[in-house]
A and B are shown apart, each in its own frame.
Chain A
């Protein structure tokens, strides 16, 4: 169970990508992929990050992992601001923070065996003298990890193409566990998998969390997956967090009009419920994140928008204890 110690603290994180006409020209425009978000992940919990394509979920994960250099903001892991760490210390900090990617086909090197893929993080740290482990110990560790994620250790010398999608994702998870990290950033880890395999992998994530006390930042676009796996959920829209709350609270009592629309749009596998449901159908598409709006990003698609929404940007504030929402319906502008 999550305790109250904050493991990851993201403050004012911004990630703007320049759009350049050519390599040499100066950037005139930006894609505001992540435009100032704050959240905390407590030790042992799963924070679900949900939103539609282009809302900045993956960029957030990559900016936290320092795979992108954030434009602004702080990413504080275990009390250290990762954005300001010198390269050597950053590598050490990575030991505590690993990633699992969406595409189990693209995220594994096809020329390495499963065993080598899982051992690679350990090998990299050995090379730099950060881990002291004999080759034998490393082999034992790989076999141990494979069994933990539900792969037979006899598959060690097989190549990724010999595995199915679900098994590959297990290899990816074993690799993420290799260094015994506290935090795992999971970027859509089940969306490429079939229904029956998806539930196996979700269970595996839960089992590993219970066993190793892992903390997850779990990104997905599927609301029911997020509901199942998360303790708390943050909903993103166009580079901003619009609502963050306990999973149970958010699904029972969604406050932001976007969260409400998102929940009502998701199909439920029960024909009786489907026949009775009233959908909030949003008009139009998600706008392009290539400009910063003075008002609320959701203004154009919102059925409850007011004049103020166009002029000022709502802040993420507590509407009830532990339930934060950025919408003028719940708090007046200052």
Chain B
């Protein structure tokens, strides 16, 4: 990880118009990604993790979606304002993605070779033969046995773990600067998950790729990520270095999340800690702290105003009135 910022997301807002009202799926998200960094975005379903990342590469379906504001600066250029042909040069080339479900993210009608060679030809300007050689090399790197043979097979001839390896090979084939991995191992078994995570870590380190890792699993971020952003109801509620977030979580939601997972390495005596209530309905959310109905430490001010982000000395920050000075004054 270096100090060079390659991607900067500023006050990103992505809204969806649905029949019931306005869904602020992402509502003012900021973060920076440094070269070679692995950033984890953690949250529960509906917290806006995936929408954030689809917004970055401008893949939000319009309508019903709309990027209502903000900037996504990649090397200083705003991806959200780029004309379609320019962003196509970046998507899949400089910024590539791996999705959760390897069954649906590969085209079942096309051979792996067709799907991989196409991307490499297009972005790297190689001819067909050279592109295929490159594809085989990438499959080999991703640990696919006999890649010369396997490349001419169809996706259904691969197992779930193998398909995810193909996806990784494909995503890294153009030496991207950023890899966005959206729940890359959630559909996989534990032993296969360990294989895939190790492969991702090894390859991205080797190629110097920065990774945005979207996941709901705290175990995965603990092992993979340098920094973490915790999302709740469309906003980042806490961020910081991985060790610090786990050692001293500040936001009551992060605290609850960390304590509500049963641990493999510890004895849990009695009941498990659990956050009461349900995740909020994000339709027409009022401008208060969306966590207050579930929060043990909720105060009056939490119901009135969204808390500002408070920074701590170690670089960690949390959006919570517990730490905001205004709360004490009010």
Contacts and interface: CB of A to CB of B under 8 A. Distances in A.
A292 interface: no
Nearest to B199: A281
A249 interface: no
B44 A196 contact: yes
B246 A262 contact: no
Interface residues on A, range: 35 or more
A266 B267 CA distance: 16
20 contacts: A164-B278, A166-B278, A194-B44, A194-B45, A195-B218, A196-B260, A197-B44, A199-B272, A199-B275, A203-B274, A224-B263, A227-B264, A229-B262, A267-B217, A268-B264, A270-B265, A271-B246, A279-B198, A281-B194, A281-B195
A139 interface: no
A200 B274 CA distance: 6
Interface of chain A, helix or strand or loop or mixed?
A: helix
Contacts of B279: 164, 194, 196-197
Interface string A53-72: 10000000000000000000
Nearest to B258: A269
Interface string A217-230: 00001011101110
A108 to B, nearest CB: 17
Given A164-B278, A224-B264, A262 B191 contact: yes
Given A261-B191, A267-B220, 8 more contacts: A166-B278, A202-B262, A202-B272, A225-B262, A274-B222, A282-B194, A283-B195, A285-B159
A127 interface: no
B189 A52 contact: yes
B161 A285 contact: yes
Q: Identify which of B190, B218, B260 gathers the most chain A CB atoms within 10 Å of its CB.
A: B190
A271 B272 contact: no
A195 B257 CA distance: 7
Interface in B247-270: 256-258, 260-265, 267-268
A102 B161 CA distance: 22
B264 A274 contact: no
B194 A269 contact: no
A286 B261 contact: no
A86 B35 CA distance: 69
Contacts of B198: 279, 281
A223 to B, nearest CB: 6
A295 B279 CA distance: 49
A206 interface: yes
Contacts of A164: 278-279
Given A53-B189, A196-B257, A286-B189, A270 B246 contact: yes
A263 interface: yes
A200 B276 CA distance: 7
A96 interface: no
A211 B58 CA distance: 53
A291 B162 CA distance: 22
Instruction: Please give me the 6 A-B residue pairs with the lowest Cβ-Cβ distance, nearest first.
Output: A267-B219, A228-B262, A269-B218, A265-B194, A274-B223, A199-B260
Contact of A269 (B160, B219, B267, B271): B219
Nearest to A248: B267
Interface in A246-263: 248, 251, 261-263
B256 A196 contact: yes
A113 interface: no
B262 to A, nearest CB: 4
A267 B45 contact: no
A104 to B, nearest CB: 13
Interface in B217-243: 217-223, 242-243
Nearest to B159: A285
Given A203-B271, A268-B222, A270-B246, A263 B45 contact: no
Contacts of A282: 191, 194-195
A78 interface: no
B193 interface: yes
A1 interface: no
